[in-house]
Structure 1
Amino acid sequence: MSPQEKTPATLPWLTDEFLQKILRDAGGHETTVVTSSDIKPMAGGGDNYLSTMYRVSVKTKDKEEAVSTISLVVKLPPSGAEMMKLIANSSAFLTEIKLLSDILPKMFSLLRETSPEEQEEFGAKCFYAKNTMPYVLIMEDLASKGFRMAERQKGLDLRHSIVVMRSLARYHATAIALHKRDPALVESFEENFYTDSRGFVSNATLPMLRSLAEVVRSWPGFGDDYRGRLLKRADTIYDDVMELMKPEGNAFNVLNHGDLWVNNMLFRYEEVTGEVRDVKFVDFQLCRYMSPGIDLQYFIHTSVAEEIRAERVGDLLREYHKTLCATLEDLRCADSIITFQELVDEYERKALFGFFVTTMILPILLSDPDTIFNPEQSHQKEDEAIVTKRISNIHFTTVLKRLLPIYAKKNFF
């Protein structure tokens, strides 16, 4: 079968010869011969907004004629005209390419230098990256190693959340160690999609807050007061959040993942017990050098089950702090350790970001299939009926009815 017959029209370059070359160039596959490949699209609505994904099953044989299958993931810019234009003028893909091909390998090397025991990498191995439009990333398929995604509307239980906290702390601590060796490299992540694609993000998120104001008006105990305050806050929230995300000169800054929600992490489980064993992060398009409070607020307000968010945030922060300190000790960066109270204070200082995420991003992330946000139409006014239905999602309203009075007392709106 010819490459044109077996590949989607957008991927005529993804031939068996090309796949064989990148496998050999990446190391560990020097004698690999690709005999065939099969390409299928990945992800459904609501799973990926800034990319198009394909899974490639590659049949190979080695010099002993032993046959095996290697599974890869191909990540490309979205195919729609509006999103393609947006990505071309955004740092999103270039950020992820730099993370996967340069930063994460350097961070993993630091861990292996100082910790003799086996270390888990933070993300997928990168086999190929093209850093000019149209961008291309080809990575190992973590699903082939037993990793899988959790259900995005359900929320993570305590055990899953703790596993994420520990891995996030290792990631942040190792980025601190890399910063000590090469501060310019880490601080080069000074912008992200929120800042360089401001028009898109504000067009996608501000309608959430304005529609929310109308919906909560009918809730007992909320009424016109909440409506008026939320509508007024829509005029200033984005500027305040952009200011909140800037790194501060003498503050505790790390290389944030930037988009740490349940769809951007894959879990692996014990075969016998079924208990969650470890996690890997994916989709590093929004990485930025800033306070760890941003990653923590984002994860806790988008991904943990509501009962965990209501009662166990302190426990999650303790797990994060314990692993952060231990990893910094291992990396010989004990001078960067902060106290638990300093961590809590930093988390609270970024609490406005939690309000922003809850009211303006969470409705999109929790959308039902019939209200999935279409980024290709973000330049147009979205149908108000769809936005209202998205806001009225039971998964979202359950969270908001508890948190909105708390945000009101903190004068976030």
Structure 2
Amino acid sequence: MSTPDISIMSSTENLLKLSKESFSAPVAQCDENFEHSDVPDWLTKDYLEHYLRAYHQDRKLKILRWNIRPALGKGENYGGVLTRIRADYQTSMGTVATGHYIVKTSFESDEFVQKTMEPYDIFNREMSVYEKVLPRLNELLREIDDNEQIFAETLAVDRERSALIFEDLNVREFIMPNRLAGLDMTLAKMVLRKLAKMHATSAVLNERENGCLESYDRGFFNRHTDNYMPGFEQLLMACSRRVRQWEDYELYAEKITNLKSNYTELGKRVFDPNPSHVNVLTHGDLWTNNVMVKYDKITGEPVDVIIIDFQYAVWGSPAIDLHYFLNTSLEEDMHLHRQDELIQCYYQTFADTLCKLRYRAEIPSLHKFHLQLEEKAFYAFNSTCVILAIQRNEETEDADFKAIMQDDERATRFKDTCFKNMYVQRVIKKLLPIYERRGLLEVEQ
């Protein structure tokens, strides 16, 4: 869930979502097919030039030509505006170079979106993560001679405009994997190993710096605001309406409907840190569209991944990311049958990194770690039965943040359409009986 991209919204498809296509348009002052209304008025050539001068420490750097266009199609991102820019610039030494950038900005022109997202403070929090946290996590990895890149390089953080400027990973042949197909075992393990390093270094940083990460407390569910809850609850009801149409599933539909009365509280309990558990800075919205992948040109096998989009980074259980990722972003067989294998893969890197960094608190055994994940298992149900339909949606005409959060006729139609997806229906049909037997459909858990 950017969004809930919620990733839904980033998520929600929540997200630093970059498109799969390479930047191949000819250099011009502007791409004539570009929807200028999607870009803030202040995102000009002079604006970019200012930050390139600061980044390159060259006050005479000058942009000669630039090209600007949307980085994503409709239905790919709900958490912000992503713009791709290519710029030819000349340095003070007379050298001409070409830079490729992604500029991430807020939905500042839409009052409804702005007011709904405001209490989550996602843009300030993401800027803080990129500016203050991720560099520290990288430093901890360097302590143990781990030079692997986990995050995209940030060129600029503009707090006044709520904007971030990143390297365009497409130029290094990183692309977004197919969100409709899901990730295979090889790629999923690559993502989980990097996630484990992020989690482990964050636990160590928080331990060394006296709880410095615990203020990141505004995930999709939190104790400060319920602004997203109407949208999530309506998705839950859309799931119930679909399930009610299936033969012999009436009981499950009734239980899903009844869950609405305690749905928000159950979600908040997932996000509440448990002092007896290992806690980390979670990504908060880890799914297919928040991962960039580089593939071998000959074999087609993935060779590297980078994790992007930290709007919903939140201090809490690793279960937040694991349940969300494992129940939204995998190929069908892995979603249904191979999650334990992936959790073991994650755990090995997680525990190993904690050991190498001399983490002082208890590192749970694999068995204890599974028990901690089970305490937060409501989020596995939520990811499968509420979030998955948004993220695998193929009908993009009405796919936007308002269609998720509002309850008018268009929004209801959009949510119902998401649950027509046959992949989503197959997975829910197979997992609902399992969730029911585990007590995850009970109002009181």
Quick check: TM above 0.5?
A: yes
Is residue 2:169 matched to residue 1:142?
Answer: yes
Name the CA shift for 1:245/1:7 in 2 (closer, same or farther; >3 Å): closer
Partner of 1:100: 130
Name the CA shift for 1:51/1:357 in 2 (closer, same or farther; >3 Å): same
Map residues 123-202 of structure 1 onto 2, 5 A cutoff. 123-132=151-160, 134-195=161-222, 198-202=225-229
| Unmatched segments (≥5 aa) in structure 2 | 1-27
Map residues 335-374 of structure 1 onto 2, 5 A cutoff. 336-370=362-396, 372-374=398-400
Give a deviation string over 1:213-238, Cα, whole Å, max 9, x none.
22222312312x22221111111112
**Aligned partner of 2:103 among 74, 78, 89:** 74
Distance in 2 of aligned mates of 1:389 and 1:253: 37
Distance in 2 of aligned mates of 1:217 and 1:12: 48
Partner of 2:233: 206
Partner of 1:45: 74
Look up the SS of the partner of 2:309 in the other structure: coil
| Post-superposition offset of 1:264 | 0.8
| Post-superposition offset of 1:182 | 1.3
Name the CA shift for 1:87/1:233 in 2 (closer, same or farther; >3 Å): closer
In angstroms, what is the RMSD of aligned CA positions? Answer: 2.5
Distance in 2 of aligned mates of 1:277 and 1:194: 34
Q: Matched residue pairs, number?
A: 409
Is residue 2:434 matched to residue 1:406?
Answer: yes
Name the CA shift for 1:222/1:145 in 2 (closer, same or farther; >3 Å): same
Partner of 1:257: 283
Distance in 2 of aligned mates of 1:294 and 1:17: 41
Name the CA shift for 1:262/1:382 in 2 (closer, same or farther; >3 Å): farther
Name the stretch that deviates more: 323-332 or 282-291: 323-332
| Unmatched segments (≥5 aa) in structure 1 | none
Percent identity between matched residues is 28
Name the CA shift for 1:208/1:7 in 2 (closer, same or farther; >3 Å): closer
| Post-superposition offset of 1:329 | 2.8
Look up the SS of the partner of 1:315 in the other structure: helix
Q: TM-score, normalised by structure 2?
A: 0.85
Q: TM-score, normalised by structure 1?
A: 0.91
Q: Are the equivalent residues in 2 in contact too, given 1:91–1:193 (CA < 8 A)? A: no
Task: Report the AA paired with residue 106 of structure 1.
Answer: R
Q: Are the equivalent residues in 2 in contact too, given 1:208–1:391 (CA < 8 A)? A: no
Between the two structures, name the one with larger relative contact order (CA 8 Å, sep ≥ 6). 2
Distance in 2 of aligned mates of 1:29 and 1:174: 34
More helix per residue: 1
Give a deviation string over 1:190-229, Cα, whole Å, max 9, x none.
2234337854422212122222222222312312x22221
Q: Are the equivalent residues in 2 in contact too, given 1:45–1:369 (CA < 8 A)? A: no
